[in-house]
Structure 1
């Protein structure tokens, strides 16, 4: 069986790491120059502690080698959705959605797909407001374009099972 794994771009984690360092330096500089107990001294500690969280997060994002999306002849699985595999037969349509420069491919599924984890009411309302569905594949972190991914998914749902491996090879080789 043909299987394609899509991984996150490590550059995003490096950006988080690099953007945290100057703020940590400013916080340490403020702590060392201000007398203990002043507002600036306390703000220096808050700044340092908050932006230090960017170091482990950035390193994790950079070195995380788990695939985010796995595509097979049977369907597509996204680690971030915390759902089972979406079968090609269950997907009615796919379309790109841009939410504050974050790229998504929104999947409209039929009634046969049972959600393992229901969305919060506020999240469902937010999805409806921005024109997204309950299942959205985040592709802004991947090494692929949302329009190419949408075209690929549309082609896969309109193709017979026997021909899906050819389409996968055409798009990902």
Structure 2
């Protein structure tokens, strides 16, 4: 069976996706797996429905959930976060500390992070890490990103002027 560890921090969400990977399921079947009521399944999966990872259809007034082909490709193409972390540690020549691990996790869970008028890539990573209740300074995020970029853990798409437009994990870490 496919290994699903991320982008799911929740054990229940990983359980739901593992079950959906085996084929379409009724809300009641999914609810039994995580010991909740079937009416709680839609709210739990809503963000993945909006993302286009899960599709839901009504059959006799009952919701049937399944993974989209896009979700299957995304989930199957990603190696486990632990493998990515091991490769990053090998490249850096040291074990990642908690801050480095969280920054790496943000990139692992994102296809890429795009620079915007309102927030730099570092600021976006900073806020993503803070959402996980991790205390980290913006300066520390910038240091980590600089090292990750220099060591080619993070690939930055740059303009000729040197401005970074977007950044993503180097593909070699995901293989």
- Shorter-chain TM-score category? under 0.3
Greater RCO, 1 or 2 (C-alpha within 8 Å, sep 6+): 1
Please identify which structure carries the higher strand content: 1
TM-score by length of 1: 0.25
TM-score by length of 2: 0.25
Structure number with bigger Rg: 1
